[in-house]
Amino acid sequence: MLTLDHIYKWVNNGGRRVFLLNDLNLKVEQGEFLSIMGPSGSGKSTLLNVIAMLDEFDEGEYYFDGEAIHELKPKKRTAIFNENIGFIFQAYHLLDDLTVYENIETPLLYKKVNRSERQSRVADMLDRFNIVGKKDLFPHQLSGGQQQLVGIARALIINPKLILADEPTGNLNSKQSEEIMELFAELNKEGTTIIQATHSESNAAYGTRTIHLLDGSIVKN
């Protein structure tokens, strides 16, 4: 599904080059559930952002579904991202001013999906995550686990091929974490490719494969 080939990303700090990603090679197949582990600052988030095309890299090649991403213009990259990838954040990052329903609906609005289809898709999603009763609440009225459910629902609403999750359970207690992870496993079983960054071995265990990062390089595959 995607291939990262000799990816380098660095920042210049006082004349010295600090590598965030250092000669990183990664191949992810359709249907995989990949867990990325590593200490803080090892480049997990950077890697996810690069995969999501939210961040640029300085050297190397990136192919997504056969498209050479490194050769594309930003606009086209954004279009590919919007079409294929759902992003889940550690801090949920729901839009505070929107209700649960509206948060889930927003990506569809940006995709100009018509009204009736929006309604049915959001209703399905609410149903699936068992949050129909919460649809008119605002994020601050929900618990962390519930918020993350909404975040996942929002990521899934566009039927993405790939889900990127940056420590999705980092702010949750162990019971909530378990629920989220089981949900991920289920999604993966249904065919969605998932890449998650995590600190937790037990979470990583839900995945089909785990890689370990250190100083921007994969140390263990």
Partner 1 sequence: MWKTYFKTAWRNILKNRTQAFINILGLTLGTLSCLAIMVYIFSQLNFDTHHEHADEVYRLRTFIGSTNGSRESNFATAGPPYAFAMKDEFPEVEEATRIVYLGSENSELLRPKGQKEAYFEAEGYLADSTIFRIFTFKFIKGDSKRALNEPNSIVISSGMAEKYFKGDNPLNQYLVQGSGEDELLLKVTGVFDENFGKSHLRPNYILSMNTPGMGEFVRNTTDFATQNFVHTYVKLAKNADVDLVRTKLPGFLEKYAKKDLEKWGKSKKLYLQNIQDINLHSAGIESQIGKTSDINYLKMLAILALFIQLVASVNFINLSTARAHKRAKEIGIRKTIGASKNTLIKQFLCESVILAFVAAFISIPLIALGMPLLGGLFQTSLTIDILWNWEILAGLVVIAVLTGLVAGMYPAFLLAGIKPVRILKSGSFSSSSGGFLREALVVFQFMVSIGLIAAVIIILNQIHHTLDKDLGYSKENIIAIKLGTDEAKDAIQQLSNSLGNIPGVTSAALSDMYPSQVRDADLAIYLPGEDPNKIQTMVYNGISPGYFETVGTKMMYGRTLSETDTLGIIVNESALKAFNLKPEKAIGQQLMYKTGGETDQALEIVGVTEDFQFTELKSVTRPILNYMDSRTDWMVVRIAGNDISQTLDKINTSWNDILRHKPMEYRFVDEELERLLSEEKRLARISTIFTVLAVILCTLGLFGLISFIAEQKRKEIGIRKVLGANVPSIVNLLLRDFVILLLIGLALAVPITWYQMEEWLSSYPDRISIQWWTFVLAGGISFIIMIFTVGLKTIRTASTNPVKNLRTE
Rounded to the nearest 10 degrees, what angle do helices 115-128 and 144-156 cross at? Answer: 140
Distance from C-alpha of 176 to C-alpha of 47, rounded to nearest angstrom: 26
State yes or no: residue 77 binds partner 1 (CB under 8 A). no
Among 52, 142, 162, 213, binds partner 1 (CB under 8 A): 52
In angstroms, give the least distance from the CB of 183 to partner 1: 19
Distance from C-alpha of 191 to C-alpha of 195, rounded to nearest angstrom: 13
State yes or no: residue 11 binds partner 1 (CB under 8 A). no
Among 3, 5, 8, 54, binds partner 1 (CB under 8 A): 54
Residue 71 structure tokens: 């050769």
Near partner 1 by CB under 8 A, which window of 11-19, 85-93, 124-132, 186-194? Answer: 85-93
- Give the DSSP letter string of 83-106: HHEEEE-TT----TTS-HHHHHHH
Is the Cβ of residue 86 or residue 206 nearer to partner 1 in the bound state?
86
Strands 67-68 and 85-88: unpaired
Distance from C-alpha of 29 to C-alpha of 1, rounded to nearest angstrom: 5
State yes or no: residue 119 binds partner 1 (CB under 8 A). no
Among 34, 36, 153, 158, binds partner 1 (CB under 8 A): 158
Is the Cβ of residue 43 or residue 210 nearer to partner 1 in the bound state?
43
In angstroms, give the least distance from the CB of 80 to partner 1: 12
Host H or E run for residue 111? none
84: phi then psi, degrees, rounded to nearest 5: -115, -20
Is the Cβ of residue 55 or residue 61 nearer to partner 1 in the bound state?
55
CB atoms within 10 A of CB 166: 22
Place of tokens 């909404």: 150
Is the Cβ of residue 63 or residue 138 nearer to partner 1 in the bound state?
138
Q: 99 and 137 in contact (C-beta within 8 Å)?
A: yes
Among 11, 18, 68, 109, binds partner 1 (CB under 8 A): 109
Amino acid at 121: R
Q: 97 and 103 in contact (C-beta within 8 Å)?
A: no
State yes or no: residue 57 binds partner 1 (CB under 8 A). no
Near partner 1 by CB under 8 A, which window of 7-15, 59-67, 109-117, 198-206? Answer: 109-117
State yes or no: residue 122 binds partner 1 (CB under 8 A). no
State yes or no: residue 98 binds partner 1 (CB under 8 A). yes
- Positions in the binding site for partner 1 (CB under 8 A): 45, 49, 52, 54-55, 78, 82, 87, 89, 93-98, 102, 106-107, 109-112, 154-155, 158
